[in-house]
Structure formats: C-alpha cells, structure tokens
Chains A and B, each alone.
Chain A
C-alpha cells in the first residue's frame, strides 16, 4: 500500500520503538503533524526548540533509549543547533527531524528557509536531506543505526514539505548495510594482552573512566576489573555514576574541580588505564606536566580520541564492555594493600571535599541534603557553572545514568529541559535539576512544558545573584572586578514565576529550612522551583587554575 512521506516517518519511528517526541510544529511540518494527531506517539510540545533538543538528550541519557525531537524549517531548525552540538560533544544518541521548504524552493531564500544540513554538519554525527520519498524509510533506518552505534551522537534528517506529502510503497528495512560505516567493537587481542601485562606490573595504577563506560554499559566490568586488580578509580564529569562514589577504591572526579586525591594520584601514577574518556583539557590541566611518570592504556571506540591530547602507549580501539571484560580475565588478582593504596588513603583523609559548616545557607549543604533525602537514588541534572561542579562533589552517585550534565559544550540552560526529558523517560524516579539563578533563566519557558504535560521535575535554584563561576574567576584572577556577572537586581521572584506558570514555588532562606523544603517538594506531584538564597560569594574548591598542572591545586575554603 502506498503511504505518504509523513506516514512513513511516523510509522518508521514506531518501528524503532519511539514512544515520545519533543518539539514544535510549523508551516512546512503540517503534513507530519496531521499524521501525528492520530498516532500512538506521545508528542510533548515544548516552548523553544532548544528545550526540545535538550529534552530528547536528557531522555536518551536517563534511559539509554534514543530521544527524538522535531523542529520546523528555518528558525525552528536553527534553534536546535545548541542542543545538537551538546549531544555531539557528549556522544549522546539523538534523532532530530527538521521540516524543510519544498524541494523546488531550496536555495531560493524561501520563507523560513535555512540550510540546516549545512549549518549542522560540524555538530552532528551525520545528517541527511531527503529529496525523494523513496529514500525516506532507508534513511530513517540508517539514522537510528548511526546515532546509536560506534561512538554515538546526534543525527539530523531534513524533510522537505513536498516529500512529506509525496507517496510511495512503504516497507521498513529490517537491516542496514553502510559500506563506509562499520564500527569496530572487538578489541585487538594482542593489545589487550599487552594492557593486562602493564596492569599486572604497575605499582601505582589508576583506572580513569569516562562517559564511554556508561554508553557501553561497562560499569559491571569496570567494577570487576577495579576489584580484581585493586585499581583506584577516578572519573571524568561524563563518567560520574559509572562507579559508586562510596566504594573504597573511589577517589572521585579528576580535573579542574576534581578531588585532591584523584588529581594527585593521577600525577604520581605509573599507569593510567583510560576507558571511554578522552583526556579533555578540563581533565589534564597543563598537558606537558600531566602525569609525567605514567604509561597510558587507552580503551576507546573512537580512534580519533586516542593520542589526540596525550601520547598513548597501548591503544585499544573497541567497545569498553567487551574489552574490559577481556581484561578482567587476564589481570592477576591482588588483595594486598600496597604503599600506593596507603598513600591514597592519606590523601583522601587529609584532603576531603569540604566546605564551611556554619549556620549559613550554603550550596554544598543543599546538594548534600538532596542526596541524603533521595538516598542517592535521584536523577540529578545540572546547569553549567558552580551549580554543576558542586553537584559533582556533594552528591554521592551510586548508579550510571543518574547524573546528567552538559560536559563538553558547557551549555547553560541545559539542565532544566534535560530534567524534563529524564523524568519522561523515568517517571518513577525523583528528578532534580540543580540550577543557578543565571542558568535557569536560559530555558525557564520550559516550565510551561512541564506543567502542561504533568512532568513533576524539581528545580533547586542555587540563587546567589551572580553568574557564579565567572564571578569566582573574576574574584581569583581579576581582582574582584565583577564585570558583567551581577544578576541580582534583575532576577525575578522565582516563587512567583513558578506560581504564574501553575507550578509550585518554595523560597528557602535559612539552613534549618532546607530539609523540610526538599521533602515537601518531592511530595508535591507538580513541578517545583526551590529558590535557595545561598551565600553569594561562595567558591568551588579545590580548583586547578586554567593552564596549571593538575597537582597545582587551590585548596581555599570560601
């Protein structure tokens, strides 16, 4: 039977087991939205396309299933760009479908036309412009395959309005075969053997894990490897949750705002076993002083990540779960506490993450209480800046896919829509966006989406009246000249904002009210804004200044 392009699109999404789509319609998207009207697909109307993209990404990250967003041509499509770049930097699978002007108008500066495949080429894993309806089903199948395999990422399909209306015979392909795209999953056995030998010989190893561990579902294998070989574990921002924070072998996050023990262990190590991490500049600090005595094993699905920043001694290209599983078999079982473990214990004991525990309302305390009250089982999303760094430090994550944050791109305005996407994916879990008063205002309009669709996310606004992280840098490196970072007098009353949207707002000004407010927010079956009036000039410590070596740490307590 013949079907229209719009019908083919919606049926193909259903074949891919998509249950929900985030987005906004528009003129040239109408044929598809008309089909959507009667389809079992749940459509969540957002208030900005950037919100839709972040929601789709939050959905992917919380569930491991792929998120999908829709945007119309021109400005709708260009509004997706930040969301696509964010997913691309963090290797998160996502499908974006954009409508396009009719094929005969493409390139004519038509109304609401933008060359979105051209614009998004550098920020997607791949993209397509479908000009013939007969190519549509195969393109969708390929897009889902490419987005979710190898190093995952966002794939965009641009669909002109006439192709949505055109008809052809529809059958959804059972398989894809792309001769130019064949990701390699099995690691090279010789390399794996070499890596195991290095691990067995190492005196001062660290296991450095990143987002790739979560993507490939390698957390059990990582646990087995760490415990069998007694490897101290450090992680990147993207790797948070891949290994339980409370484990004896955990040192915490490494890098600019990493723990003292993680940074010092890295610098003094003789072997770094990197799995699904990419030695980002926020992790390594000054490159020429990074871990001077360490050999490096690097397991990654993406060859371009290997020897990009750090010269690698044993590269292993492939899937983290498969390769680490092989390594577990080959490494020797160790039980003894070595001098290395003793040294690490001393660092952990002498330099724990801490803050001033007085009667003032401090951000770190708020996050600790959210962690305690949710028993560490909540899903935490963050914005970007101080709120994000404190969330890495003071919430003790237990499981993968519990921490959702914009790692590579550092997108303010990410956390709130990502929280909405995560809550749609995991309705039974408590979802908290830890926000700043600056970031929350970058996608605050999505409160309407949460209210309308009854998505009861909680937002903890750490309200200090500043763009806090930038202010912190100005305080430390620019003589407290707070240029362009003061928000306070322009900030709205967040409680009233919440109420105006039909959500609930709670203001907290005293430390003693924090726990009750969080408990109340969780009980309310609606979106809640918690407006915490925190200490305004609190800083994130420890801190490695930009361009310094990883062990040149500023320890100050604010």
Chain B
C-alpha cells in the first residue's frame, strides 16, 4: 500500500538523518521526500511517500512518533487530502516539434519557462498520476533532463 506520511519536526540538524534511518533500518526505500519550513520557522514539515506492508508501516509511524524531535505524525491514507509534485523537464524541441509541445503544455496546464535553440524547459505541478501521464506524452520528443521536488500533501477542509 502507498502511504503519504506527513511529519512535523523540529527544524534542527540531524533530524532528517534520524528519520531516514528508521526507514533504512527496516529495508524500506522512500519513494519521495519533501522537506520545508512551515508557518513556524522552528518547525519543518516532511512529506514522505513510502510503500509497504501495513504492520511494518504502523511500526514505522510509531517509531517516528517516538523520536524526540518529532512533533506530530499523520498518515493521509484514510483522510481526504491533496498531493502536489512539481516537475521541471527539459525536452528536445526543434522547429517541427515546438508547436505540438506547446499544445500539450496547454492541455496539461503546464508552463514553458525556458526556451533554447533545440530544447524547452517545462514546469508543471500536479499529483503523481498527472505528472506520470505528462511525462509519458512528452517522452517521444526526447527527455534530456528531469527533476522533481517530491510530493507534498495537505489535508482538505478545516482539519
């Protein structure tokens, strides 16, 4: 099962290492990890995407809670939430293909943020599925380079 886990932590050196260690000690690979300050600069939020057996993930969540620097852990598995990832992708684009690429960018509500003589850089945000679909479609043009921020997640509504 895929889990999006949100972890509020003290914004201090060493915290990331402690958290990463919990996953590696169990032999789990983190699919995606995004870290940034929250509205309170002394607190950071980590959004961790991980796949794994339920019981072991329950253990990992308990272990996360046990770390002295962890303030709160929430698993979005059963809550309504939004997920977003930002991607920058450099695609080969010559005279012939540029127009077609621009149309695709429009349809996906992405943006071209840089144009070179034979490539463009496209910026897009979306959830995992949308990004995957977009990447598939531009692949035939030739992807030169790609970078992603990692998924961030937030619960919907008042919660």
Q: Which residues of chain A have a CB within 8 Å of any CB of chain B?
A: 117-118, 121-122, 125-126, 129, 146, 178-181, 302-304, 307-308
Q: Are B70 and A121 within 8 A (Cβ)?
A: no
Q: Are A121 and B59 within 8 A (Cβ)?
A: no
- B17: interface (CB < 8 Å): yes
Q: Are B68 and A302 within 8 A (Cβ)?
A: no
Across chains A and B, the number of contacting residue pairs, with CB separation under 8 Å, is 35
- B94: interface (CB < 8 Å): no
- B62: interface (CB < 8 Å): yes
Query: Contacts A179-B71, A180-B71 given: A121-B14 contact, CB under 8 Å?
Result: yes
Q: Are A121 and B68 within 8 A (Cβ)?
A: no
B-side contacts of A129, CB under 8 Å? 13-14
Please classify the interface of chain B as helix (H, G, I), strand (E, B), loop, or mixed, using the class held by over half of its residues.
Answer: helix
Q: Are A125 and B68 within 8 A (Cβ)?
A: yes
Q: Are A302 and B25 within 8 A (Cβ)?
A: no
What's the Cα separation between A146 and B69 when bound, in Å?
11
Q: List 5 A-B contacts (CB under 8 A).
A: A118-B17, A129-B13, A129-B14, A180-B67, A302-B66
Q: Are A181 and B68 within 8 A (Cβ)?
A: yes
Q: Are A126 and B68 within 8 A (Cβ)?
A: yes
Chain B residue with the shortest CB-CB distance to A305: B62
Within 8 A of A (CB), among B37-69: 55, 58-59, 62-63, 65-69
- B21: interface (CB < 8 Å): yes
The 8 A CB mask of B73-108 against A (1 = contact, 0 = none) is 000000000000000000000000000000000000
Q: Are B66 and A304 within 8 A (Cβ)?
A: yes
Chain B residue with the shortest CB-CB distance to A180: B71
- B10: interface (CB < 8 Å): yes
What's the Cα separation between A24 and B14 when bound, in Å?
27
Q: Are B62 and A117 within 8 A (Cβ)?
A: no
What's the Cα separation between A304 and B67 when bound, in Å?
11
B-side contacts of A118, CB under 8 Å? 14, 17
B-side contacts of A304, CB under 8 Å? 59, 62-63, 66
Q: Which residues of chain B have a CB within 8 Å of any CB of chain A?
A: 9-10, 13-14, 17-18, 21, 25, 55, 58-59, 62-63, 65-71
A-side contacts of B25, CB under 8 Å? 122
A-side contacts of B21, CB under 8 Å? 121-122
Report which of A121, A146, A303 forms a contact with B62, defined as CB distance below 8 A: A303
CB distance from A380 to the nearest CB of B (A): 32
A-side contacts of B63, CB under 8 Å? 304
Chain A residue with the shortest CB-CB distance to B62: A304
Chain A residue with the shortest CB-CB distance to B60: A304
B-side contacts of A308, CB under 8 Å? 59
Chain A residue with the shortest CB-CB distance to B64: A304
Report which of B17, B55, B62, B69 forms a contact with A180, defined as CB distance below 8 A: B69
CB distance from B120 to the nearest CB of A (A): 41
CB distance from B69 to the nearest CB of A (A): 6
Q: Which 7 A-B pairs have the closest CB atoms?
A: A304-B62, A180-B71, A126-B68, A181-B68, A303-B62, A304-B63, A304-B66
CB distance from A345 to the nearest CB of B (A): 38
Besides A118-B14, A181-B68, 18 other A-B contacts (C-beta < 8 A): A117-B14, A118-B17, A121-B17, A122-B21, A122-B25, A126-B68, A129-B14, A146-B68, A179-B71, A180-B9, A180-B10, A180-B67, A180-B68, A180-B70, A303-B62, A303-B65, A303-B66, A304-B59
B-side contacts of A146, CB under 8 Å? 68
Report which of B55, B58, B68 forms a contact with A178, defined as CB distance below 8 A: B68
What's the Cα separation between A454 and B65 when bound, in Å?
45
Chain B residue with the shortest CB-CB distance to A155: B68
CB distance from B123 to the nearest CB of A (A): 35
Chain B residue with the shortest CB-CB distance to A302: B66
CB distance from B119 to the nearest CB of A (A): 39
What's the Cα separation between A341 and B89 when bound, in Å?
73
Chain A residue with the shortest CB-CB distance to B17: A121
B-side contacts of A122, CB under 8 Å? 21, 25
Q: Are A307 and B68 within 8 A (Cβ)?
A: no
B-side contacts of A180, CB under 8 Å? 9-10, 67-71
A-side contacts of B17, CB under 8 Å? 118, 121
CB distance from A150 to the nearest CB of B (A): 8
B-side contacts of A181, CB under 8 Å? 68
What's the Cα separation between A303 and B61 when bound, in Å?
10
CB distance from A133 to the nearest CB of B (A): 17
What's the Cα separation between A118 and B18 when bound, in Å?
9
What's the Cα separation between A125 and B70 when bound, in Å?
13
Q: Are A121 and B66 within 8 A (Cβ)?
A: no
What's the Cα separation between A146 and B68 when bound, in Å?
8
CB distance from A290 to the nearest CB of B (A): 16
What's the Cα separation between A537 and B100 when bound, in Å?
83
Q: Which of A126, A129, A181, A307 has the most CB of B within 10 A?
A: A181
CB distance from B116 to the nearest CB of A (A): 39
A-side contacts of B71, CB under 8 Å? 179-180
Q: Which of B18, B63, B65, B68 has the most CB of A within 10 A?
A: B68
